[in-house]
Amino acid sequence: MIPLSVLDLATVATGSTPARALQETTETSRIAEKLGYHRLWVAEHHGMSAIASSAPAVLIAHLANATSTLRIGSGGVMLPNHSPLVVAEQFATLEALHPGRIDLGLGRAPGTDHRTARALRRASDLRADSFPDDVVELISYLLPREGQPTHPFATPGSGYLPEVWLLGSSTFSAQLAGMLGLPFSFAYHFAPALLDPALEIYRSTFQPSLLLDSPRVMVAVSVLCAPTSEEAHWLAGSTALSILQRRTGQVGLLPSPEDAEAHLFTLEERAIVDEAMATHVIGDPTVVREGLEALRQRTAADELMLSTRTHAHEARLRSLTLIAESWGLIPIKE
């Protein structure tokens, strides 16, 4: 079976706080390591009250200190928000502190609204036209150069190279990853429509590089597992109501399943939610295993990354445990 990994959004649920969400992400990293997951990524989001991972490099340093073998990384750093040199310095430092365990996933979306993006970039031009050049520039700071001294600004010096991934939800990022010879992670968990063409383009345009000899694909997917499918779908009500709230401009903390159960969805609202969650893998261990295996066969992915959002932290840990057992990462408990 291919490796499984975890995408953790440091979710802030109703009744909780950002500090508690970060503590829960830390515990999730420790549990994921014990369960046999390959890596755990956090994502850069800004101006979203339900997500506490606005500073990936800081959080990654903390999570890497809390674990010993699990790969820790960004899924991802939104490069248009930052100077390539700053990101190179941050992740070279992380790699020097935790050799062989740091991943740098790069994305070109702002990860926020236009107002916050402008505050981050301190510029009126919010386009990501320079993204390909920025990726190349960033990697150049990290690669050791034969016959030349290490770059004086890439603290603690070039040569401390994290595992660099390109993230995407479109064919643009897929083609760029192929042309640059980088591993590619597709965001199927929130942009499923272009999965198949993106992976086809990535593999057909792939050119071997100093970083990678052959195409390497990871697919991120929304997953929720519980002892019964009925309970899993009830727990997923939090995500359903959250999706509806975002679509109607009601940005807030992740609601509880009880809130979702009490909400009277109109036929139009239910259609919106059903369409958005059609590709989520939700159910008991058997259903989830079959769903993940079908996705693996469809994509020939080298790795799957699981994104699980629940109101209760305990339900999220239980979901990861049940999936680890059903996938064979750990023995099934009697």
Peptide bond into 156 cis (omega under 30): yes
| pLDDT tens sequence across 258-309 | 999 999 999 999 999 999 999 999 999 999 999 999 999 999 999 999 999 9
What Rg value do the Cα atoms of the chain yield, rounded? Answer: 20
Mean pLDDT of 72-95: 92
User: What pLDDT, on a 0 to 100 scale, did the predictor assign at position 222?
Assistant: 97
Peptide bond into 100 cis (omega under 30): no
Which of 27-36, 104-113, 219-228 shows the lowest mean pLDDT across its residues? 104-113
Tokens of 127: 């386009």
User: What pLDDT, on a 0 to 100 scale, did the predictor assign at position 139?
Assistant: 92
Reduced to 3 states (helix: H, G, I; strand: E, B; else coil), residue 302 is coil
Reduced to 3 states (helix: H, G, I; strand: E, B; else coil), residue 254 is strand
User: What pLDDT, on a 0 to 100 scale, did the predictor assign at position 185?
Assistant: 98
User: What pLDDT, on a 0 to 100 scale, did the predictor assign at position 142?
Assistant: 87
Using the predicted structure, report yes or no on whether residue 152 has a pLDDT greater than 60: no
User: What pLDDT, on a 0 to 100 scale, did the predictor assign at position 143?
Assistant: 83
CA-CA distance, 38 to 305, in Å (whole number)? 9
Full DSSP string of 28-96:
HHHHHHHHT-SEEEE----S-TTB--S-HHHHHHHHHHH-SSSEEEEEEEEGGGS-HHHHHHHHHHHHH
Tokens of 233: 């779908």
Confidence band (pLDDT; 50, 70, 90) for 26? very high
Amino acid occupying residue 158: S
Confidence band (pLDDT; 50, 70, 90) for 250? confident
CA-CA distance, 28 to 290, in Å (whole number)? 24
User: What pLDDT, on a 0 to 100 scale, did the predictor assign at position 249?
Assistant: 80
User: What pLDDT, on a 0 to 100 scale, did the predictor assign at position 251?
Assistant: 76
| pLDDT tens sequence across 98-146 | 999 999 999 987 655 666 666 776 555 655 578 999 999 999 888 876 5
User: What pLDDT, on a 0 to 100 scale, did the predictor assign at position 203?
Assistant: 98
**For 4-222+302-313, which CATH class?**
alpha beta
Mean pLDDT of 74-91: 92
CA-CA distance, 309 to 71, in Å (whole number)? 21
User: What pLDDT, on a 0 to 100 scale, did the predictor assign at position 228?
Assistant: 98
Confidence band (pLDDT; 50, 70, 90) for 334? low
Domain ranges of the chain: 4-222+302-313
| Higher per-residue confidence, 187 vs 158 | 187
Mean pLDDT of 214-230: 98
User: What pLDDT, on a 0 to 100 scale, did the predictor assign at position 126?
Assistant: 52
- On whether the pTM is more than 0.95, the answer is no
56-66 and 84-97 helices cross at what angle (nearest 10)? 10
| pLDDT tens sequence across 301-311 | 999 999 999 99
| pLDDT tens sequence across 52-76 | 999 999 999 999 999 999 999 999 8
